[in-house]
Amino acid sequence: MIILDNMTIGNITIRDTLIWNGTHQEFMLLKVSPSQRYAYTFADSFVLKFDITQNRIVELKASQNFYPIPEKYPHAMDLTEDWALIAAYAATPGNANLAAPIVFLCSLNPLQYLGFTSFVDDLLQVISLAKTYNLANHMSISVNKGRQMAIAGYRLINLVSSFTVNATSTNMSTWTVQRVRIDVGPSNSGFGQSVAWIDNETVAINVLSANAHSWSKSEVWTFAVDSPFTIPQYVFPNNQQTLTAYATPRFYQILSWSKNLFILTEFTAIIFVPSQLPGYLSVWADTGDIFLYIFGSSPCSPGKYKKESGFGLCQACPPQTKNPAYQPPCTQCLPCSSNSFCPLGSITDVFYNNYSSYTQTYTYPDAPDMNNYDDLLVQNIFTINTQCLLISPLFWTLIVMTLCCITWFLMTIGKVAPCQLLKQQRNRAKKFLKNTDIVGEGERWIGGLFSFAIVVLFGFAFWFADDYLKLYPIETSSSPRASCDSTLRNA
């Protein structure tokens, strides 16, 4: 049933007129022409053109008489003053239980079916699902008369198709629609839930499930229409244009006109992001209304700029340019001085002469040929040269062993000498040396004598281990002190 209500608001009169009263229509698409004069309806069983200004039906046709192919189920539509594109399912000729997604072209003056093209190749849907309303089968379409183009979204497979329309000839029978490109979004994202043209060069695509931020379950991605839809130019919402509503919404439908963005959410709330002049962007403004959110205006923050009007965000100033905090609005960043440092998003010049030069690079030496600790320890013990005698373990061990040999020689003389006092001193020395014996566990005094040499080797080994440990990390270590090899590194 389609009804126009009669009511008067100021100088505007709204008429209450029953246009159609028939059977239930699972799909009924209603669209008003850009001139606001005609309303068009494409439903399951009929097609209607209604003159709003004169309150009369211009054309009313049954679907079976309008379409040359039976069983077409329209899901989305958009139009100009002269033609309309409808995204729909159509039963396949070979199998009545399956339906294919298509986009068909109709002239509006008069209402006439002109032809179709496939939405996507090699994809069929069960007819029972195609002709009943469900969110998974949702389609969307938006046309641009100036470019003679259209984009259509099919969220079931995260797909957006681009079409060209040849409708410039006065002979309507030559009008055609052709698919020119298919772009696929992230899997299970609902890419293409709704689509809209921002201007002749840019389109907006609703991504239904994009759980990248805490403030929204959905996102609006913008793309240059002449390039593949891979990396968006910008995304709404973003860190400059956040949503601080009481709940994180999911976007069901988007519209755009004059570069404004209109969003309908799952909570039947409306988000309106108005287009702003260059140098300004739309930001969240809390009005206290839980069903209507209208963004306010704010100048670009320091270090950012915006050179075109639109609802989008501000961009960071390129390197060697700046936007000082005292100069809003910024439509173009100012150049920095040639002798200053201005990275991305600068707000002022940073002069090099105010800072001392500091090289953060570190030249790492080559890895040593020998990196096994046991081999390094043995090499360090048995290495001796004239440049580092004082830290050579072998040198000091030889000195101690020389003293041990002298002591052994004196102990032998004390044994054979007839002097009783010398024998007593020898016995005391034997007792002491047996107590220091770590070789024979105190059984022989000669073991205690040479234990001194072993203690010297162990001392140098512990010193080397401690010094080697301090050679890591290489960035903070100095030259080794317990080794004759100045190139030794623990890395």
71-94: pLDDT as tens digits: 888 999 999 999 999 999 998 887
pLDDT band at 6 (very low <50, low <70, confident <90, very high): very low
pLDDT for position 371? 64
Can you tell me which residue has the tokens 């090289």? 359
What are 276's two structure tokens?
A: 């702003």
pLDDT for position 236? 92
Q: What is the rounded average pLDDT for all residues in the chain? A: 84
CA-based nearest residue to 449, from 470, 465, 435: 435
What is 2-312's CATH topology?
Methylamine Dehydrogenase; Chain H (2.130.10)
Any idea how long the chain is?
Answer: 491
pLDDT for position 312? 92
**This prediction's pTM:** 0.69
Any idea where the domains of the chain sit in the sequence? 2-312, 373-469
Cβ contact 233:179 at 8 Å: no
pLDDT band at 9 (very low <50, low <70, confident <90, very high): very low
* Range 10-31 average pLDDT: 71
What are 378's two structure tokens?
A: 């043995």
Q: Which of 175-179, 326-330, 487-491 has the lowest mean pLDDT?
A: 487-491
Which stretch, 52-56, 146-150, 398-402, has highest mean pLDDT? 146-150
CA distance 280 to 263: 20
Residue 405 has pLDDT above 70, yes or no: yes
Summarised one tens digit per residue, pLDDT across range 200-234 is 999 999 999 887 677 788 999 999 999 999 999 99
CA distance 403 to 419: 23
CA-based nearest residue to 463, from 488, 480, 477: 480
- Residue 51 — φ and ψ, nearest 5°? -85, 110
CA distance 177 to 218: 31
Cα diameter, the chain: 150
